[in-house]
Chain A
């Protein structure tokens, strides 16, 4: 009985990972165009990616635009989320709808809209133009993540902080923000990834001047199937894996001392404060439990 779900899990994982087994080897390939299996291996295309301005410039553009989008998104979404989640006001339902609406819109429709609208503002082919368009696309997801976090936030933490003498501003800074930090981080990360990954709108409005990496990849695969594409794909995958795995690894490393404690072993040195004889030692109070 237990074998079937396990087998299914392995199959799904294999299916998802399958492209990697093709893309990663191809990035080290010596073939002049995308070709599998690779006839030989070298690092030439990695060198090409990091030195060729036709690749580095779109990468820099994409990073600038993604960071800009992330910053602008969070700047807009943070107050909007607090307003919509915490306050009752006229038009709240409408605000909620407008904040999530772009998610339901096909990107191609939005792209055409941005093309003419940003064109009028002379913002096509500029970083700012792409940032504005990407922000509109990032807002819904950032808003949804942040509002889910905020809804689960215990208001008594803020009440406690204020009763203890913190002004509303300091309460936000010392309590609300740090407690919601994971929510903010994930929200911002998604805004970043959304922008970095976005292709359709970028093709329409980024132009030569602010060409993004996905747009460059799209164009180069259309023209010549440049193997550098597999290099970029591999690097992107590695970056994402790193971002996702880092917190998991970090947590596993940090948790360990407590587990030792629970097992009755000696606590790790860094966990035992100088004045603390032994935090694992049973005491009057610990016997409560």
Chain B
């Protein structure tokens, strides 16, 4: 089998008694856009710093193109990095910043300038070469930082929460921009964020970090539809998590603590009596009688009394009590019209909407 382009295996890192990483492994293919998603303090930056060579792992290895990076100093790794605070050199103009990596590589000045100007074009800042960083907006500085990290054709591009300091609109614009540039250059990219929607829209694959480990790696759809831990289910999107025990694995039957019996779309790979958590996305729950094509048979249904209604414009979130627990339901468009706090509803969902997360 062919080696993956970037191979991170078994990284651990301790700061004194604090374990920042507890065994991080992942493979990234050439040209892939992988996002590290996780809450603050989950080890995303530490992993990035080890890949870049600024921190030494306590154990584990990093290989790029089959070559171990362990004895290669940061400046010889040919890895482009974009930091959240841009880290533009304040004493250099935008163009000089972009030319810096080429100067360091001994590229003749004329060629370096030509390449740097081409990068300025690519990031949409053609006329801004002579600006000082302090005279540019956050979004512009971020583009210059991106151009600087790409101009020397790095074997890997690392971005550590590059959009964290930008406001929402600019952020969305930059997400599209970064994706476009990454695609046009085909550079293998690792993008760090704690924003799940950013991860969903940009990534080929998402690695979800929790407490110094990767809980799950998969396409946005995979991590959204089939989270492998309750943490992933909670962190990505909105979810109902229903604790229960396996009743009949072959029939796919589970008894939940609050909503009684549930039928899963397929058989379960767990023994009868084993604990299991069922995930049910709020948007896959429908009002009884309105759900076309959903079997009205029990067991996959519940009667709820709504206590909270949150309108989002394009959809409405209803939170109601059912069997002693809260159930979150998201109805699209006008479906929720006329439903107020205190309403009693009968809801149901298709078996295919239920995802079983094995207990760990």
Contacts and interface: CB of A to CB of B under 8 A. Distances in A.
Closest 7 CB pairs of A and B: A165-B104, A164-B101, A156-B87, A160-B87, A162-B74, A163-B81, A273-B130
Interface in B97-131: 100-101, 104-105, 124-125, 127-131
Interface string B133-173: 00101011001010011001000000000000000001001
Given A279-B130, A288-B137, A165 B83 contact: no
A36 B199 CA distance: 79
Contact of B105 (A165, A275, A284, A286): A165
Nearest to A258: B135
B83 A159 contact: yes
A288 B104 contact: no
B140 A285 contact: yes
Interface in B62-115: 73-81, 83, 85, 87, 89-91, 100-101, 104-105
Given A179-B91, A276-B127, A159 B52 contact: yes
14 contacts: A157-B87, A157-B89, A159-B52, A163-B75, A165-B76, A166-B100, A174-B100, A181-B91, A273-B130, A276-B127, A279-B130, A279-B131, A284-B124, A288-B170
B122 to A, nearest CB: 13
Contacts of B231: none
Interface string B5-31: 000000000000000000000000000
Contacts of B140: 285, 288
Given A178-B91, A273-B129, 13 more contacts: A154-B85, A156-B85, A159-B52, A160-B89, A164-B75, A164-B80, A164-B101, A165-B78, A165-B101, A178-B89, A275-B127, A279-B127, A285-B139
Given A159-B52, A273-B129, A288-B170, A164 B77 contact: no
Interface residues of A, number: 35
A166 B173 CA distance: 32
Nearest to B82: A160
Interface in A100-126: none
A152 to B, nearest CB: 12
Judged by DSSP, the binding face of A is helix
A166 B75 contact: yes
A283 interface: yes
Interface string A271-289: 1010111110101111011
Nearest to A156: B87
Nearest to A171: B75
B104 A170 contact: yes
A8 to B, nearest CB: 35
B87 A283 contact: no
A52 B89 CA distance: 50
Interface in A64-111: none
A220 interface: no
Contacts of A174: 100
A203 interface: no
Interface in A180-194: 181
A24 interface: no
A283 B127 contact: yes
Contacts of A271: 130
Contacts of B75: 162-168, 171
B132 to A, nearest CB: 9
Q: Which of A161, A170, A284 has the most chain B CB atoms inside 10 A of its CB? A: A161
Interface of A: 154, 156-157, 159-168, 170-171, 174-175, 178-179, 181, 258, 271, 273, 275-279, 281, 283-286, 288-289
A166 B89 CA distance: 13
A163 B105 contact: no
Contact of B80 (A157, A163, A181, A275): A163
A288 B54 CA distance: 34
A118 B210 CA distance: 63
A159 B48 CA distance: 12
Contact of A285 (B81, B89, B125): B125
A160 B81 CA distance: 7
Given A179-B89, A179-B90, A273-B130, A163 B124 contact: no
A124 to B, nearest CB: 44
A271 to B, nearest CB: 8
Nearest to B173: A288
A159 B135 contact: no
Q: Which of A163, A165, A167, A288 has the most CB of B within 10 A?
A: A163
A239 to B, nearest CB: 28
A281 B127 CA distance: 10
A159 B129 contact: no
A276 B78 CA distance: 31
A166 B53 CA distance: 13
B89 A276 contact: no
A163 to B, nearest CB: 4
B137 A166 contact: no
B104 A164 contact: yes
B137 A277 contact: no
B170 A163 contact: no
Contacts of B89: 157, 160-161, 175, 178-179
B90 A163 contact: no
Contacts of A161: 89, 100
Contact of B83 (A160, A175, A279): A160
Contacts of B149: 163-164
A163 B79 contact: yes
Contacts of A278: 127
A159 B52 CA distance: 9
Given A159-B54, A285-B139, A276 B129 contact: yes
Interface string B328-352: 0000000000000000000000000
A278 B127 CA distance: 8
Contacts of A167: 73, 75
Contacts of B130: 271, 273, 276, 279
